[in-house]
């Protein structure tokens, strides 16, 4: 089955303090809500260096897994660098993802920006260097929780998803294997939130 892994959704919610509503020049206590309604809808951003290999593959794998589990959340990906902004994923990333039934040809690379640290609840770095870069550029009042992708996979904690860009197709197979494991582990976590 071929699934268009769309990335058209853009998050609508505002991230005011849970339990409060903002009115012009007035802050009032909202009617108490069950905790799951007061929490912002999870919004997940996958980040690598170029946003043409690993993070779009992670985005597609997680979109697919989230849909399979019936999770309502938003998903996107970005790069810390700007070299490939506006470009589609690397043809090898597209081919490997398509081999697993997911079409990412409509994805376009973008660079992470300061708004992302407020609009996303969770930002997941594909490698340790990406994570360090994210910590370095995160605004002081960032709302997003930053973490390493494979820290969410049992027995893979602390590992990076290796950059397949300068290698051959086998590197992309390994990327797919790792981002799929991470997508499954993350979906399980968000199911129980």
Residues in contact with ligand 4NP by the rule CB under 6 A = 48-54, 79, 83, 163, 165
Q: Is the Cα dihedral 74, 36, 113, 47 positive or negative?
A: negative
| Catalytic residue of the set 116, 127, 133, 163 | 163
Quick one: 108 or 118, whose CB is closer to ligand 4NP?
Answer: 108
> What are the two backbone dihedrals, phi and then psi, of residue 36, each rounded to the nearest 5 degrees?
-70, -20
Which of 104, 106, 131, 105 is CA-nearest to residue 45?
Answer: 131
Instruction: Compare residues 15 and 165 and give the one whose CB is closer to ligand 4NP.
Output: 165
Query: What minimum distance in Å lies between the beta carbon of 191 and ligand 4NP?
Result: 27
For residue 110, the SS3 value is coil
103 is catalytic: no
- Residue 176 burial (10 A CB sphere; 0-12, 13-18, 19+): buried
Distance of closest approach, residue 49 Cβ to ligand 4NP, in angstroms: 3
Give catalytic status of residue 10 as yes or no.
no
Instruction: Choose the catalytic residue: 25, 29, 48, 76.
Output: 48
Please provide residue 59's backbone torsions phi and psi, each rounded to the nearest 5 degrees.
-60, -50
53 is catalytic: no
Closest approach, Cβ 32 to ligand 4NP, in A, equals 44
* Positions marked active-site: 48, 54, 163
């Amino acid at each position: 089955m071929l699934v268009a892994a769309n990335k058209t959704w853009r998050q609508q919610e505002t991230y005011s303090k849970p339990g409060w509503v903002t009115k012009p020049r007035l802050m009032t206590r909202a009617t108490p809500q069950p905790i799951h309604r007061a929490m912002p809808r999870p919004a997940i951003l996958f980040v690598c260096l170029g946003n043409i290999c690993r993070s779009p593959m992670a985005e597609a794998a997680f979109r697919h897994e989230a849909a399979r589990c019936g999770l309502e959340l938003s998903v996107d990906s970005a790069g810390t660098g700007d070299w490939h902004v506006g470009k589609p994923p690397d043809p090898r990333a597209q081919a490997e993802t398509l081999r697993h039934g997911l079409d990412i040809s409509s994805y376009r690379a973008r660079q992470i920006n300061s708004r992302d640290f407020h609009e996303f609840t969770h930002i997941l770095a594909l490698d340790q260097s990406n994570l360090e870069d994210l910590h370095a550029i995160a605004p002081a009042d960032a709302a997003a929780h930053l973490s390493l992708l494979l820290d969410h996979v049992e027995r893979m904690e602390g590992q990076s998803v290796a950059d397949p860009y300068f290698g051959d197709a086998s590197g992309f197979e390994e990327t797919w294997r790792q981002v799929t494991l991470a997508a499954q582990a993350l979906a399980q976590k968000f199911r129980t939130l």
